Amino acid sequence: MEFFFNQINKNKTYSENMRTKEEDVLLIKNLKNRDKYIDIYISTKNNINLNELEQLCDAVGWVKRPLRKVQIALENSFIVTYLFYKYQDQKHLIGFARATSDNSFNATIWDVVIHPEFQRQGLGKALMEELIKKLRSQDISTITLFADPEVLNFYKNLGLTIDPDGIKGMFWYPL
Dihedral, CA of residue 69, residue 91, residue 127 and residue 26, to nearest 10: -150
Beta-carbon contacts of residue 111 (< 8 Å; ≥ 6 apart): 57, 96, 97, 98
Q: How far apart are CA 6 and CA 41, in angstroms?
A: 27
Instruction: Please state, in angstroms and as integers, the Cα–Cα distance from residue 154 to each residue in 90, 132, 158, following that order.
Output: 30, 15, 7
DSSP 7: -
Choosing from 41, 85, 155, 173, the catalytic residue is 155
Specify whether 41 is catalytic: no
* Residue 109 CB-density burial (10 A; 0-12 exposed, 13-18 middle, 19+ buried): buried
Q: Which residues are catalytic, by number?
A: 155
